Amino acid sequence: MKLKESSMPEEDMWSRFFEPNKILQVLGLSNSVGDVVDFGCGYGTFTIPAAKIIRGKVYAIDIEPEMIEATKRKAEEEKLSNVETMLCDFMAEGSGLKNEIIDYIFLFNILYTTQNPEKLLKEAYRILKINGKLGIIHWNYDSTTPRGPPMEMRPKPEQCIEWAESVGFNSPKKYDLKPYHYGIVMEKTK
């Protein structure tokens, strides 16, 4: 199931919108984290830096073959053996991962692309360990951002928190990821 089209920019432009290492640090990713899932990994913008930080594996999942190839190529170039790319329609089929095996899940700029964000959040909840973390990033609800999805597609932080709480996540912490994004970290405690 292809998600809503969000007009992903070319990689050069996309990379100018983020400082991945700084963002991952703010969102609490550290070398104490085991395995991570990056749903909708795209160009590997966060997958590759995460693989250099954590002690486990990063499962980089995307529906687009060219995104999987880009991420795989970067992992090989960086000689990272802890990146596993997965070409997968996770909205229709789930991730294929076992229950409660993941320490941290990235849902970065993806919840707005689906008609049913709760379904994706349920899959994240299923595979996340107890005391695991969910990281969410989205474009600010601000029409002056230089790019990003149309305003009517952008969820506000409160909406993302509400969706995540509806499937069992709790303890939301919000972060301002200037200049264009916000971040949220939530936990699975039961």
Beta strands in 49-164 (DSSP E): 58-62, 83-87, 102-108, 128-139
The side-by-side arrangement of strands in the sheet containing 58-62 is 83-87, 58-62, 36-39, 102-108, 128-139, 181-187, 170-177
Residues 6+ apart with CB under 8 A from 65: 87
Selected residue with higher pLDDT from 55 and 180: 55
CATH superfamily, domain 20-187, is Vaccinia Virus protein VP39 (3.40.50.150)
Tell me the domain boundaries of the chain.
Answer: 20-187
pTM, two decimals, is: 0.91
Tell me if residue 180 falls in helix, strand or coil: coil
- 11-68 tens-digit pLDDT: 565 566 678 999 999 999 999 999 999 999 999 999 999 999 999 999 999 999 999 9
- 101-154 tens-digit pLDDT: 999 999 999 998 888 999 999 999 999 999 999 999 999 988 888 777 888 989
